Amino acid sequence: MSKDWGSKAGSGGVASASEANVQRRARLAQLALDTIDVSNDPYFMKNHLGSYECKLCLTLHTNEGSYMAHTQGKKHQQNLARRAAKLAKDNLVQPIEAVKRTAVKKVQKIGRPGYKVVKQRDPDTGSRSLLFQLHYPSISSGVQPRHRLVSTFEQSVEARNERVQYLLFAAEPYETVAFAIPNQPIERAADKFFTHWDETTNMFYLQLHFVPDAAAAAQAKSRNAAAAANNANTNDDEGEGNYEVDETS
């Protein structure tokens, strides 16, 4: 009676490599089922067809044993290692440079400065202008007053009014003062918007001109024309008086 070499009589032939692999996977699956709870596995999912999926490896399995055998395989273990490396790289704490904090300078305010506002109108163009004069008799040494234009949406002190904008003046140790001016375009030419700080009298001057509208420009033009015509008539009258003839002689 013939028999396969390497096996006992009555025990069957030697298992092939594929059969040994199937038996090994079955033992691993059974061991995993006995020791691991698949409900706590974040990559385990049961689909609507009743089969099981591995969300990490995107594989499909017919039962829990097949899935557990897959988790012990090389592919699943490699994907777990890649996932862990990626999470470690994303969660790597980068050194943060110390932020330099600027110390807040505390200054005791002494009140508001004296001020004067003069309204003017350019006779040639008809544009309106404002001249601000602010007096800072006790201003800090080396400090020059500053100014800034603020829209009604940038402040939270007054009720919002789209018809006005605010011109702010600040100088330590005085309180910041604000003036509500018409919300109209302001000319930025050097001779239309300028400031001056007089250190001898501690007076700060700021003059601004609004862009003239068409109606104001037309009125100014008509006024200039009328004034020129009036001057011409006056000169003519004076000239005729100089050439009067005395007929009494």
**157-211: per-residue pLDDT in tens?**
888 888 999 999 999 889 999 999 999 888 888 888 889 999 999 999 999 998 8
- More confident site: 232 or 51: 51
CA distances from 212 to 6, 86, 120, 177, 224 (A): 112, 65, 13, 27, 16
What is the 8-class DSSP label of residue 160?
P
> What gap in Å lies between CA 127 and CA 131, rounded to an integer?
13
| In contact, 171 and 136? CB cutoff 8 Å | yes
Continuous segment of H or E residues that includes residue 205: strand 203-209
From the options 3.30.70, 2.60.40, 1.10.3470, 3.40.50, give the CATH code of 114-209. 2.60.40
**Domain boundaries for CATH 2.60.40 within the chain:** 114-209
SS3 198: strand
- The predicted pLDDT at position 235 comes to 55
210 token code pair: 């609004």
pLDDT tops 60 at residue 7:
no
